[in-house]
Amino acid sequence: MVTLKEGDKAPAFKGKDQDGNKISLSDYKSKKLVLYFYPEADSPTCTIESCNLRDNYGQLKKKGFEVVGVSPDDERSQKKFETKYKLPFPLIADTTHDILEKYGVWDQKKLFGREYMGVLRTTFVIDEKGTIRKIFTRPKNKAHAEEILAAMKK
């Protein structure tokens, strides 16, 4: 369950992206960051959400946002996902669930009466000072970039 709130300090994290590059929250110091968590690379809904962010990446960058995706997939799966859909941003492979747990998005889920541990699709918008400005616990996958931009105008 996501226990972080808007106004909280974003938890520090370190991970490796699809190319094996080390990425940490401190890399985005003095930048605005869209940190989005998704359950599975190349699954239908995750693809829709990621491609929406890709298609609107120019607009997000123009408004000063960097984008980083995080899922429990390994580097190889993340690389295939990035290549297949030409995603222009890093995808962290959080196979140990360390980042997922820090952000409270690794939790009990239910599907067809079956309970299991999984990723709660969530996006955190973090400002230049490392403060969480907005949390989307139910992102509009087909219009996620648009909802981020609209919310951050306020």
> pLDDT tens across 36-45, in order?
999 999 999 9
Catalytic choice (25, 35, 41, 46): 46
Active site residue 51: no
| Per-residue pLDDT, 134 | 98
What predicted TM-score, i.e. pTM, was given to this entire model?
0.96
| Per-residue pLDDT, 154 | 65
In DSSP terms, 131 is beta-bridged to 9
Q: What percent of the chain has pLDDT over 90?
A: 92
Residue-wise pLDDT tens digits, 45-91: 999 999 999 999 999 999 999 999 999 999 999 999 999 999 999 99
> Residue 2: is its pLDDT beyond 90?
no
Among 58, 69, 59, 62, smallest CA distance to 141 is for 69
Q: How confident is the model at residue 111 (pLDDT cuts 50, 70, 90)?
A: confident
Residues, the chain, total? 154
Residue at token pair 């190349």: 42
Residue 59: CA atoms inside 13 Å, Cβ hemisphere, count? 14
Q: What percent of the chain has pLDDT over 70?
A: 99
Q: State the sign of the Cα–Cα–Cα–Cα dihedral 126, 77, 52, 1.
A: negative
Taking the C-alpha atoms of residue 136 and residue 143, their distance in angstroms, rounded to an integer, is: 12
Domain boundaries, the chain: 14-153
How, if at all, do strands 91-93 and 132-136 pair? unpaired
Span 14-153 CATH architecture: 3-Layer(aba) Sandwich (3.40)
Residue 34: CA atoms inside 13 Å, Cβ hemisphere, count? 27
Burial class (CB in 10 A: 0-12, 13-18, 19+), 134: middle
